[in-house]
Structure 1
Amino acid sequence: MSMFQIFNISGSAVSSQSQRLNVVASNLANADTVAGPDGQAYKARQVVFQTALVGAGNDLASAGVRVSTISEDQTPGRKVLDPKHPQADAEGYVTYSNVNTVEEMVNMISASRSYQNNIEVMSTAKNLLLKTLQLGQS
């Protein structure tokens, strides 16, 4: 594997984790929303990753990662009895989103750490390439 393929592999991971962080941010922003006028509450979204070939060409291809889909969690939202709420249904229940804030915070920490680790990999590879170039100057 060439040193340049490391940038492709880590770059694909950074891009994927960035999308994951955006989805987590969207989920957290909608954690306490109620059902809209159509009666449907916000549904939590989850990122699904897939192995992807990166750096295909004259070089040997390497495996990276990409986001294949962003799926919606189909579990029903939590219902709270509040007959005075403007969005309450005929029985007096208000439907909130199905976002679990604890799971989303764990997801955010995991995505953030993965993002940071891949940035560190690229930084280390860059430093190794610079050191290699400096060997020729001595």
Structure 2
Amino acid sequence: MDFSNTIDVSAAGMRAQAKRLQVAAENIANAETTGSTPGSDPYRRKTITFKEALNRTSGVSSVVIKGVGQDQSPFETRYDPSHPAANAQGQVKMPNVNMTVEIMDTHEAQHSYEANLNTMQLTRSMLTRTINLMK
């Protein structure tokens, strides 16, 4: 594997983790976003999936985003008869966002991003040393 392939793989990993962080941030920001009319659905948690992509020219595999979907787990309800989205029983559907899961996802995305960044910086350093040796 040459240096440019290493940098490309690290960059792909950084792009994937940045998108993962964006999805988790959207979920956290909307953790209390309910519907606005009686019985309407609240914000539905987003999910992200990745897949391996093979660059046929270089023979190197890297990660790409397969898609952003929605978590189909059921909504919890909260009793709040004064809420505009409350049904006849006073129940309001709440988003299916679990803050613990989202915070853990942000930490994992951050660590993965940093690992890819460190790999890229190390590769750049090795490339610079190689060029200096050739002078």
* TM-score above 0.5, yes or no: yes
How far did 1:40 drift?
1.4
| Contact 2:36–2:84 (8 Å) recurs in 1 | no
Count matched residues: 134
In structure 2, distance between residues paired with 1:36 and 1:44: 17
Question: What residue in structure 2 maps to residue 83 of structure 1?
Answer: 81
Scaled by the length of structure 2, the TM-score of the pair is: 0.94
In the alignment, what sits opposite 1:30?
30
Runs of at least 4 residues off by over 3 Å: none
Rounded to whole Å, the distance in 2 between the matches of 1:17 and 1:110 is 9
- Written as runs of structure 1 = structure 2, the 5 A alignment for 1:122-133 is 122-133=120-131
CA distance in 1, matches of 2:110, 2:52: 20
Return the alpha-carbon distance in structure 2 between the equivalents of residues 43 and 5 of structure 1.
38
Measure how far apart 1:49 and its partner are. Answer: 0.5
Matches of residues 44-63 of structure 1 in structure 2 within 5 Å? 44-54=45-55, 56-57=56-57, 60-63=58-61
Aligned to 1:118: 116
User: Does the 8 Å CA contact 1:44/1:98 hold for their aligned counterparts?
Assistant: yes
Q: Give SS of 1:99's match.
A: coil
- Counterpart code for 2:74: P
Counterpart residue type for residue 88 of structure 1: A
Percentage of matched positions with identical amino acids: 30
Distance 2:134 2:20 in 1: 41
1:35–1:97 Cα contact (<8 Å) kept: no
Mapped to 2, the partners of 1:15 and 1:53 lie a distance apart of 16
Distance 1:50 1:4 in 2: 21
Once residues 118 and 36 of structure 2 are traced to their aligned partners in structure 1, the CA distance between those partners, rounded to angstroms, is 43
State the Cα deviation string for residues 81-108 of structure 1 (Å, max 9, x = none): 1112222111110111000000000000
Instruction: Give TM-score scaled by structure 1 length.
Output: 0.92
